[in-house]
Structure 1
């Protein structure tokens, strides 16, 4: 029987590319998205290559929607081998500029959604004594960055959540956990981030924050013009790393997706690049 995978956020970007790539590598793919009206490009790709992909509606902000999708898969296959928590949204504003509603939204989409889907799938993997949960986080889950405090906080939360589960669930129940930590991804994710960032005048930072934001942008532009490595990758490039991770017999807890991401996070990761040392240290206290 084929291995199967549930992927969230497959309408564009990494999720879209991962759905195609896993299907082309002999996985049964359950490609989910909040709004199936956005599934036309994926449907066309499925038809063109006769791919084993089934589309399901799943909104990571809606627990009933998650449970319905999970139960549909279990009724068809009796198992879920992999969960790829990919759905997320970018956001960059100062704390003062952000509304509490926006902060709640960023946290819900990027962190609580991961908790909901993991909570729905984990019992079945535990009972099967098999499974791999892969969470797409970010270098922003390791390094706080200007104007990204709400987004970074949500991704930091995913990092802590995943690491904590890995300390005791993996060894006891053979359920693996991994975090994929890209830099920027040049997909619709970035377009959506911009649309959520600007105020009604199209400004990204106002008042006393405006000159800081301008210097931040100028610095990024100067580094690009100087030929420094770009943080941006394509969704396909990141998806290829996710596939390699899924196929690995002993997948790491953490993996960055580019040299830029490795260099950017080195001060935080050099003592334990893949997270295995800290997991072993904590497991030693409970075994």
Structure 2
């Protein structure tokens, strides 16, 4: 029986490209998305290329939706081999300017959704004594950045959650854990981030406005001058995910580009892939 993979957030971007790439490489893909009205492009690609892609509804902010999606896979296959926690959304706004609703939203989409999806698959992976959980975090999960503190906080939380989980489920139950840390990605994720950014001057106002304007100017400058180095395509990131899924001893964390590696070096140079730290924690506590 071929391996299956559940990928969240597959309507566009990295999730879309990953669903196609995994299917092209022999996986049975359960491509999940919150809104099935956005499934047409993936459905057409799957049909035209005869890919083993099954599109299912899953909203990472809805625990019942997650449970139903996982149960659908178990009922059909009796197992889940790989979970790719891809769904997420960018957000750039000062802490003062963010509303309570926005703070809860960015945390739910980027952190709580990862926890609840992982929680849903763990019992099956534990029973089968195998499995792999790959979570797309970000360089923002290692390095805090201006106006991204709420987004970075959620991604830092994912990194800590996965690191803690890896210290005991990997050895005991053969469940492999990896955090994938891209830099910029040329997908609709960027558009989503911009749409959630205080760009109209009404929110990023007062004393923050000059800092915010400098921040936006820097982003635009880097996009023009170093786009090839800074921003990857969704397919390039998907290729990293596929490689990890085939790795018998995958790293705890991995950056997806030379730019991302350099950006995080001060945080990662002592233990680039996180392996040493996990071993140290195991020896200290277990």
Same-fold call, TM cutoff 0.5: yes
Q: Tell me which residue corresponds to 2:217.
A: 218
SS state of the match for residue 55, structure 1? strand
For residue 108 of structure 1, what is the aligned residue in structure 2? 108
- Give 5+ residue unaligned stretches, structure 2: none
Deviation of the 1:203 alpha carbon: 5.3
- Mapped contact 1:229–1:260 kept (Cα < 8 A): no
Find the counterpart in structure 2 of residue 83 from structure 1. Answer: 83
Q: Is the 8 A contact 1:197 1:204 kept in 2?
A: no
Could you give the per-residue CA deviations for residues 5-57 of structure 1, whole angstroms, max 9, x where no partner exists?
A: 00000000000000000000000000000000000100110011000000100
| TM-score (norm. length: structure 1) | 0.96
Q: Deviations over 1:126-161 (max 9, x none)?
A: 111000000000000000000001100000000000
Shift of 1:198: 3.1
Q: Does 1:51 align with 2:51?
A: yes
Matched positions, count: 286
Q: TM-score, normalised by structure 2?
A: 0.96
1:139-196 CA deviation, whole Å, 9 max, x = no partner? 0000000000110000000000000000111001100000000001111111111112
Shift of 1:220: 3.6
Output aligned runs, 1:192-207, within 5 Å.
Answer: 192-198=192-198, 201=200, 205-207=204-206
The residue correspondences of 1:232-271 to structure 2 (distance < 5 A) are 232-271=231-270
2:207 corresponding residue in structure 1: 208
Q: Any idea what SS the aligned residue of 1:284 has?
A: helix
Q: Are the equivalent residues in 1 in contact too, given 2:90–2:189 (CA < 8 A)?
A: yes
- The 3-state SS of whatever aligns with 2:196 is helix
| Off by >6 Å, runs of 4+ in structure 1 | none
For 1:31, what is the secondary structure of its paired residue? strand
- What is the aligned partner in structure 1 of residue 165 from structure 2? 165
2:274 maps to 1:275: yes
1:229 shift after superposition: 6.4
- Give the direction of change, closer, same or farther, for the CA distance of 1:161–1:10 in structure 2 (3 Å limit): same
How much has 1:221 moved relative to structure 2?
A: 4.0
- Provide structure 1 residue ranges, at least 5 long, that are not aligned to the other structure: none
Distance 1:218 1:64 in 2: 42
